[in-house]
Structure 1
Amino acid sequence: MKIAVIGAGAMGLRYGVLLQEVGNDVDFVEPWEPSYRAIRKQGGVYVSRDHQNQHLVPVDVYLPSEYDQNPELVILFTKQMQSDEAMHACSHFIGEHTYVLTNQNGIGSVDVIRKFVPDERIIAGIALIATVLDAPGKVDFMGAKGAAHTQLVNVTEKPDAFTLKVVQEFEKAGMNPTLQTNYKGTLWSKLLMNSVINTLCTLMDITMGEYVAYSGAHALTRRLIEEGYEAGRADGVQFMQSREEMAKIIEHESSKVNPLHRPSMYQDMVNGRPTEVDYINGYIVKAAKKHGLEAKSHEMLVDLLHLAEQVQQLKSTDAAD
């Protein structure tokens, strides 16, 4: 399969490298020039797994303006706030038969992708995969090989032959895909997880395991889930798990799967990049308000995260001076 991955960050690199390893023709289209230059200079991407066995994987990388090939599948893996700019920059190589797949954190990118391709050619979903970008062109795959999980779902909720082919390639790449037919339910399941783990671990500067080890973690998790479920149900979401099942998934992922991991939101914070909180907790707040509800805990977390971003920026400025 001919694949173009837009965004050579942590997750874009992991998807692209794994799919390339099983025989797909993968190109990286990188809008962020420092990353593009680093990968070109190195002749590829340095890949580690759990901080060990760093090795160079040769890859092809292009700026959007340089890329003129015709991929069957485009995988969008920029940050949510960069999706619109990236899709516009890459629209010239998205053909009338190209599918676009997104497993980005938060909710919002599908509305951007719809400007360029119809719903019939959009595959969304979620990634339960921990990956760290140590530096531009240097990525660390967290967790044992084959331990990652993905869920894919057509926006139309009607899987077609090409989607089944994508699922097959994900299976060969060890990404353990599950094909779902509940679009909103699939996205909201990861949204709720991120609204707890990403935000709280970032604010408190702790790992996922340290969070669930806190004696009040279960009650705090349930409080945030309750608000999320009320907002989601009002917005027409048919949840795939009960509230208690969702809490157990969060606890399992944090204590058993990735206890030492710090989520991507934390990585953005410490590196002075804007976080995706407005597309995670902020999306829940927005959905609640649309239906005359409140999500006060999530609203507070949004405010606190933006305050932490500002403090981090001030510290960075002071350090530079």
Structure 2
Amino acid sequence: MALTYAVLGSGAMGLRFGLLLKEHLGAQVDFIDTWQEQVDTIQKQGGVYQSRDGKNRHLVPIDIYLPENYRGKPDVLIIFDKQMHLQELLERSKHFFNSNQYVFTGMNGMGHIEKINHYFVPEKVLAGTCLIGTVLKVAGDVDFIGRAGAGSVNIATQSGKLDVVQEEILADFKAANLNPNVTDNFLGTLYTKVVFNSVINTICTLFEIRMGQFIDYQGAEKLGRQLIDEAYDVASLAGIEPLNNREKEWETIRYVSEETSPLHYPSMYQDMTKGRQTEVDYINGYIYDLGLANGYQAKTHDFLRHLVHLAENTRKYR
């Protein structure tokens, strides 16, 4: 029997995963969100407007709910939310959780796994890092960045073992053109994406540029490698083995910025421009705090973290 899904946190990435599962598999996918405007807009429209690189905008019918109004019994929960909002989403959704459900999460930053484990045991948790560009332009209007099939997802099981249901989830993701790549390094997989975001998300946000504009700068590699080196020094002290070595990590940043998503504004930029709190404390701040706990100061990451907070603070003067 085909798996049924519910997306918790139906912003840009949640919508992309759910819409691709519906499009390619005809899967049963429900959408849940705590953002009232998103829910109201999609319900009024009768669906969500979907485009790719700003073209072929069309309405896709979906069912979306506030957590309190949802009564479904999905087999799999796909969780995408901002780190600082996740606890509220989980608490408001717990009435439809059960011990048979599986979870996949591909959130940015670090801190979400600990929260999810208050509700789901590690044996039921898959986590991934998404190299996929998607923009929620306004409520009810999502834009997939890059050609069909662009991007990929590195995925690992928290327990270290892949069971039959998790294999089925991965098969569904593959059929949905999400390009999952299974690893056996759970913490290293998550940390590698934190490092990626600590470079591209933070710098693009501070300078209000697309990823392609960052990589076009002749000094981009020097900036990137300085941040990578600090983050990998921290990882070594903390006993974390990143999925990539330092060279491959820079090559991934270069490739995604130059080849697959040059037109993409990272999610932190999208939050900044819309007046929302950013996740910088869970990205650059996480690296700095982890280093500090191990007797090391990742000063460049701390400096960038405070620059982002300075930019957030200046909004009140506009």
Question: SS of the counterpart of 2:129?
Answer: strand
- Comparing 102-111 with 240-249, greater Cα deviation is found at 240-249
Inter-partner Cα distance in structure 2 for 1:247 and 1:236? 21
CA RMSD between the two structures: 0.9
Quick one: distance in 2 between partners of 1:165 and 1:255?
33
Query: Which of 150, 154, 169 is the equivalent residue of 2:153?
Result: 150
Partner of 2:305: 302
CA contact (8 A) 1:270 1:312 kept: no
Q: Distance in 2 between matches of 1:194 and 1:11?
A: 15
SS of match in other structure, 1:275: coil
Confirm whether residue 67 of structure 1 aligns to residue 80 of structure 2. no
- Give the secondary structure class of the aligned counterpart of 1:237: coil
Per the normalisation by structure 2, the TM-score is: 0.97
In the alignment, the residues of structure 1 paired with residue 188 and residue 49 of structure 2 have an alpha-carbon distance, to the nearest angstrom, of: 35
Counting only pairs closer than 5 Å after superposition, residues 77-116 of structure 1 correspond to structure 2 as 77-116=80-119
Q: Alignment partner for residue 165 of structure 2, among 139, 162, 170?
A: 162
1:273 aligned residue: 276
The structural deviation recorded for 1:168 is 0.4
The structural deviation recorded for 1:46 is 0.3
- Is 1:133 aligned to residue 154 of structure 2? no
Answer yes or no: is the 8 Å Cα contact 1:159–1:181 preserved in 2.
no
Superposed displacement of residue 207, structure 1: 1.2
Q: TM-score, normalised by structure 1?
A: 0.96
Alpha-carbon distance between aligned partners in 1 of 2:112 and 2:199, rounded to the nearest angstrom = 21
Deviation of 1:312 (Å) = 2.5
Matched AA of 2:285: G
The letter of the residue matching 2:183 is Q
In 1, Cα distance between equivalents of 2:55 and 2:316: 31
The equivalent of 2:267 in structure 1 is 264
Instruction: Summarize deviations over 1:277-319 as a string: whole Å, max 9, x none.
Output: 011101101110110111000000000000001112432xxxx
Equivalent of 1:25 in 9, 25, 28: 28
Give the counterpart of 2:288 among 266, 272, 285.
Answer: 285
Residue 239 (structure 1) shift? 1.9
Q: Which of residues 201, 212, 234 in structure 1 aligns to 2:237? A: 234
SS in 1 for 2:290: helix
Out of 37-46 and 22-31, give the one that drifted further. 22-31
For 2:177, the aligned partner's letter is G
Q: Find the counterpart in structure 2 of residue 7 from structure 1.
A: 9
Q: Distance in 2 between matches of 1:156 and 1:86?
A: 24
On the 8 A contact 1:199/1:277 being kept in 2, the answer is yes
| One-letter identity of the residue aligned with 1:26 | V
Q: In the alignment, is the contact (CA less than 8 A) between 1:8 and 1:137 conserved in 2?
A: no
> Secondary structure of 1:222's partner?
helix
Q: CA deviation at 1:34?
A: 0.7
Q: Residue in 1 aligned with 2:251?
A: 248
Query: Match for 1:72: what amino acid?
Result: D
CA positional deviation for 1:160: 1.1
1:173 maps to which of 173, 176, 179:
176
1:200 aligns with 2:203: yes
- Cα distance in 1, alignment partners of residues 145 and 242 from structure 2: 28
Which whole-Å deviations, capped at 9, do the CAs of 1:223-242 have from their partners, x for residues lacking one?
10011001112222112221
What do the CA deviations read for 1:192-236 (whole angstroms, capped 9, x no partner)?
110000000000111111111212111111110011001112222
- Measured after TM superposition, the shift of residue 173 of structure 1 is 0.4
What code does the residue aligned with 1:8 have? S
